[in-house]
Structure formats: C-alpha cells, structure tokens
Amino acid sequence: MYTPSLIFFHWNDIYDAMHIRPFIDFISSADLQHELIIVQVVFIFFTVAMLAALMYFYANSSYIYWNFLQGLEQANPLQSQGTKAINKSWDQLIKKIEAGTEQEYKLAIIEADALLQETLQDRGYKADTFEELVTQARAKTTFEDVIPAHEVRNAVVYDPNYHLDLAVAKKTLGEYEQAIKSILSS
C-alpha cells in the first residue's frame, strides 16, 4: 500500500545542491564531536550562567515596569493617573511610622500634609493657605476636618520641643488618609 509523503524535499538533496555535503559530514562526524565535547560543555555552562545573570538583572531592574507594565497601568480605567504615585507615597509614610522613632513620626506627618496639599492642588483647588484649600475642598467633597491634623503638623514644624507619640501620629495620619481618599474618590 502506498503512503504519500508529505515531505517534498530531502536534506541530502539540499546538501548536494549546495555542494556542502563534505562540510556537513565533517561537522556531524563522531570523531569531531568527541574532540569538541569539552568545548561544548564550556559553552553550555557559559550559556546557562549568562541566562541566569540575564534573568536576575531583568527581574531586579525596572526595565520591565517602564517598558511594559507602566502602559498597562495607564490603560486601567479604574485607576487615575495620580493614584499610583499617591499610593506609593503613602506606603513610604507607613514605613516611616513603622520605623518606630519620633523623628520618623514627625517626618511622616509633614509629608502627609504636603501630600494632601499636593493632591488638592492637582485636583484644581487654588488658594494661598492650607486652610483655604481645605475649605474649598470640603465644599465639594465630604471629609472630616483636617485642620487639627494640620495643627499637629505645625506644632511639629515650629516647636522643636514638641513630643509626638505613636498614637497621635497614627490618628493624625488617619485623618490625612481619609481626606486624601475622599478627594480622590470625588
């Protein structure tokens, strides 16, 4: 019974047509392969080492993020463009609180106040003072008064002897967080 062949050419025909049969026979000979085994092992080891280094540096660099993932995040309609930066800044503030030193608490309060002010300005609110910005924003959104939190911030900035403990720092940051979330959701 005849079975039709799906192969329309044979490698031997191609080698003969290109006049490279002697070269192919030489390359694929068992004697040459036996003599080159050490070279092959070295190249295989080098290839594996380079692939491991490539994957390590690729995973630990921001190349993937900046060239591929950033575009996906910007295409996400559920997340506004500034929200990612605000979340990143807020995570850094939380790390400062977790550091456990009064200086870090104070720095976190100052940065949270600046983040709220920046968020308000990015949303189009214009005013000369922080209090005016908050008043404008409270007319359009609903969030608790952050003036007490701002007063804590002012005490931290202007009174070098002001003592800030963890409970007050967390409460103040909670007020800033609630205000920022309300502004972003409006």
Please answer whether residues 164 and 101 qualify as being in contact, where contact means their C-beta atoms are separated by less than 8 angstroms.
no
Task: Report the amino acid identity of residue 55.
Answer: M
The span from the CA of 72 to the CA of 65, in Å, is: 9
Task: Give the length of the chain.
Answer: 186
Q: Tell me, what's the pLDDT at 177? A: 85
Q: Tell me, what's the pLDDT at 88? A: 80
Residue ranges covered by each domain of the chain:
11-60, 79-185
pLDDT at 70 over 80: no
Please answer whether residues 105 and 164 qualify as being in contact, where contact means their C-beta atoms are separated by less than 8 angstroms.
yes
Q: Tell me, what's the pLDDT at 26? A: 87
Q: Which residue has the tokens 């080098």?
A: 46
Please answer whether residues 144 and 178 qualify as being in contact, where contact means their C-beta atoms are separated by less than 8 angstroms.
yes
pLDDT band at 142 (very low <50, low <70, confident <90, very high): low
The span from the CA of 109 to the CA of 12, in Å, is: 78
Q: Tell me, what's the pLDDT at 51? A: 96
pLDDT at 85 over 80: no
In this prediction, residues 159-177 reach a mean pLDDT of 87
Q: Which residue has the tokens 């463009």?
A: 81
- Alpha helix positions (H), the chain: 11-18, 21-27, 30-35, 37-60, 63-64, 70-75, 81-99, 102-122, 130-140, 147-158, 166-185
Q: pLDDT tens digits for 8-44?
A: 668 888 888 888 988 888 888 888 888 889 999 999 9
Helix axes 166-185, 130-140, angle to 10 degrees: 50
pLDDT at 160 over 80: yes
Backbone dihedral angles phi then psi of residue 61, each to the nearest 5 degrees: -105, 170
